[in-house]
Structure 1
């Protein structure tokens, strides 16, 4: 169970745990810095991120998606296979469901292509904070990292999970400790967990 949880941490929660980083960076830099780093805007953005992750993971995944399976197999492809073998009285329903499934597969492939590129490039671009002259190296380093990741991917997600699980444990511990240290200085940020800030933003 521990190995499975560690693998899931590396494969699944690695994406969830790192996505808010470039999301926040994009929010405050998009549209000519339209969103200012004021208290109300920061609280609104943090509240949106928190409740989006909470709703997606808790409600969508746990309540709905985990219950939609095909003999224990999940995912959009497994559900399409389930639709093909299902007995449906109305003739137009099955093609409509398959079309919706294919649309979901297209979104899945699109997400699978763009998310690694955005995640890695956002992480590597952090080098420019330390050394602004390293901007020209961001793309080459990103290409090298992505190539290495896709080479590892051919050995299966089990290997990827084993490799990145411990990395994500360290990552979550570091950001958790850093967050707690900041909260000891100023606990007002906990107010951003109120959904009213997300709604008003």
Structure 2
């Protein structure tokens, strides 16, 4: 049975996910994260800047990328990044078998609201996984760059920040991301209180 073709069109923006096979770790130490990021940078150079990274987060066993495309299919970009990384990983750890779980996942970002929503979702992954308390404490995401805590590298933050009309766009984005956590805490507390009342 032929594989289902990934939905894509020129100038599409996508939320890409790549997961470890059987949910196994694809990053075992800090140098692995660095190698993957260098692979993204190499792929951008290889395709002469035809792809832009808006936001990213590398988790232990999966990856999130928010990517702006032009006239080259996203599959070529992701295949290059994941293929080269898998070769280096397999060589380093003498790993046999598929590193990634099938093909990458992709979702087209079709409206303005989802541009910032997808970025927030990506950056809150480590927080919701209880790996850190604050998104800016996680080293392997673009969040600290977008809010201006560290120098920007690899990403182009303007595509996200320009959705905010206030003067301090980075602070506005930070408040936007934090609002999701605060809403989640309130919802959790409300649910807990309701449960206690029933008990």
In the superposition, the TM-score normalised over structure 2's length comes to 0.26
TM-score (norm 1): 0.26
Tell me: higher relative CO, structure 1 or 2? Use CA pairs within 8 A at least 6 residues apart.
Answer: 1
Q: Rg larger in 1 or in 2?
A: 1
